[in-house]
Amino acid sequence: MIFCQILSYYHSRLLFLIPYLRTTYTGGAAIIFLLVGLFSQAAWAESGYSEKSGELDGVLYDIAIADEWNGKLLLFNHGLIFEHLPLSTYMEPIREPFRTLLQEGWMVAASSYRRNGMVVNDAAEDVLILHSFLVRKYGPPKRTLLMGESMGGAVSLRLIESLPGRFHGAAILGAGLMSSDPGTKSNHSYQPESPVLFMSNQSEIDQATDYYSQSRKNGKNTALWQISRDGHINFNEAEFLASVKALDNWVETGYIKREKDATVFVEGENSTARFADGGAYGKILDINTTFGNMTVDFTASDFNRLGVALGQNLVLKLKGKEFTATRAKTFSDVPVGQWVVFEDAEGRHTIAINRSHAANEAGVKKGDPVFIKAKNK
């Protein structure tokens, strides 16, 4: 049982790395596909779902479908990925809401879009191409929901407004509704014909509030949920799952609480840091493959003990390299290109570079040590 669970975890991780390796060297992709092939039978048998990755005219896609599909489909539309990064669907079945939906019999799928950057028009077309492919391959879903993060929210709104009947509802997460292709203006009708649930952090809720207000004046089915936490898409797993489950229930029953504080508070973990040499030692717990953000095992109490308050600088030591970072509420609190440390919705801390790939810059991997100290010490 444990062996199969390990295989299942690394099987999904390997699939997620495929888009990155496609853009670097063919041999690497071949190795990954071989490993996936070796692991697939045991992992799929244990997980209760199967995964498929591929390309449609050069556009990457990832699909995960329950062994006993219940006919429900969630199309995940990711936000802006910087032009210099590899194409990615940014969908990992092991994270919420995908994990629970797959356990309950859903299919989840995502497109990388044909290129990175601000590409709302192309992205909408690519999502439609993927949806048509899924209908041909698996048959028409009985329900198709959209879930869009940041720029992906603008993509999802474009689809739900322009194609009534094809999509049954949309969960729009975070700011980004005014996103549009360079040289164009966002052009919303504020008249979605299917239910739309907006969920946003309190620090960037203005765009969602504006759309919600105007669409409600038009008599449309929209709802607005606030997360009482600053940041951008700074939601924990319980909040991600709650948004999709509420949307699905809304489509099913016609009921939702239209305005709600949907914050789920998570108790932070106890400190495991080792304090020495005028600072604290910890380690990298995980690395976001697409953006290079590093989850570390420091707690808020560790920074407080070092005397590093919000808005103050600290020193990071990674792989023999030294960087200056700011402790902040979110990555956008620092200028583009600067290092930042912030607490996420799960009570963990993230080390990142605003609009760059921190892990590549530092040359680190999961499990590597991290040393932090106050800037003035």
Using the predicted structure, report yes or no on whether residue 164 has a pLDDT greater than 80: yes
Residue 185 lies in a domain: yes
Same domain flag for 16 and 53: no
As a whole number, mean pLDDT of residues 218-222 equals 96
DSSP label at 20?
H
User: Sorting pLDDT into bands at 50, 70 and 90, what band is 46?
Assistant: low
Using the predicted structure, report yes or no on whether residue 37 has a pLDDT greater than 70: no
Q: Where is the domain boundary, 214, 234, 261?
A: 261
In whole angstroms, give the CA distance from residue 253 to residue 21. 44
Same domain flag for 152 and 301: no
CATH number at residue 295: 2.40.30.90
Q: Distance between the two ends of the chain, CA-based, in angstroms?
A: 49
In whole angstroms, give the CA distance from residue 306 to residue 310. 12
CA quadruple 213, 219, 222, 225: dihedral sign: positive
Residue 269 lies in a domain: no
In whole angstroms, give the CA distance from residue 106 to residue 69. 6
The H-or-E segment that residue 130 falls in is helix 120-138
pLDDT tens digits along 53-76:
999 999 999 999 999 999 999 999
Residue 210 lies in a domain: yes
* % of the chain with per-residue pLDDT over 90: 76
As a whole number, mean pLDDT of residues 201-221 equals 96
In whole angstroms, give the CA distance from residue 354 to residue 107. 33
Sequence-distant (6+) residues with CB within 8 A of 72 are 101, 105, 106, 107, 141, 142, 143, 144, 145, 248
Comparing CA positions, the residue from 346, 347, 296, 301 lying closest to residue 325 is 296
Same domain flag for 245 and 310: no
- Cα–Cα distances (Å) from 38 to 5, 8, 32, 224, in that order, read 15, 12, 10, 45
Using the predicted structure, report yes or no on whether residue 174 has a pLDDT greater than 90: yes
Same domain flag for 302 and 225: no
Same domain flag for 112 and 204: yes
Using the predicted structure, report yes or no on whether residue 27 has a pLDDT greater than 50: no
Q: Where is the domain boundary, 220, 238, 261?
A: 261
Using the predicted structure, report yes or no on whether residue 22 has a pLDDT greater than 70: no
Same domain flag for 219 and 325: no
Using the predicted structure, report yes or no on whether residue 18 has a pLDDT greater than 70: no
Same domain flag for 228 and 128: yes
- Cα–Cα distances (Å) from 202 to 199, 263, 315, in that order, read 9, 10, 29
Using the predicted structure, report yes or no on whether residue 79 has a pLDDT greater than 60: yes
In whole angstroms, give the CA distance from residue 93 to residue 109. 9
- Looking from the CA of 288 toward its CB, the CA atoms found within 13 Å total 22
Identify which of 36-45, 184-193, 250-259 has the greatest average pLDDT: 250-259
Same domain flag for 68 and 216: yes
CATH number at residue 72: 3.40.50.1820
pLDDT tens digits along 107-143:
999 999 999 999 999 999 999 999 999 999 999 999 9
pLDDT tens digits along 225-247:
999 999 899 999 999 999 999 99
Using the predicted structure, report yes or no on whether residue 26 has a pLDDT greater than 50: no
Using the predicted structure, report yes or no on whether residue 7 has a pLDDT greater than 90: no
Same domain flag for 15 and 103: no
Same domain flag for 253 and 198: yes
Using the predicted structure, report yes or no on whether residue 286 has a pLDDT greater than 70: yes
Residue 62 lies in a domain: yes
As a whole number, mean pLDDT of residues 212-224 equals 97
User: Sorting pLDDT into bands at 50, 70 and 90, what band is 377?
Assistant: low
Using the predicted structure, report yes or no on whether residue 261 has a pLDDT greater than 70: yes
Q: How many domains does the chain have?
A: 3
SS3 283: strand
Same domain flag for 176 and 199: yes
Residue 267 lies in a domain: no
Instruction: List the domain range (segments joined by +) for residue 297.
Output: 274-374
Q: What does the pLDDT read at residue 185?
A: 83
Residue 206 lies in a domain: yes
In whole angstroms, give the CA distance from residue 23 to residue 43. 26
* % of the chain with per-residue pLDDT over 70: 88
Same domain flag for 88 and 183: yes
As a whole number, mean pLDDT of residues 298-325 equals 96
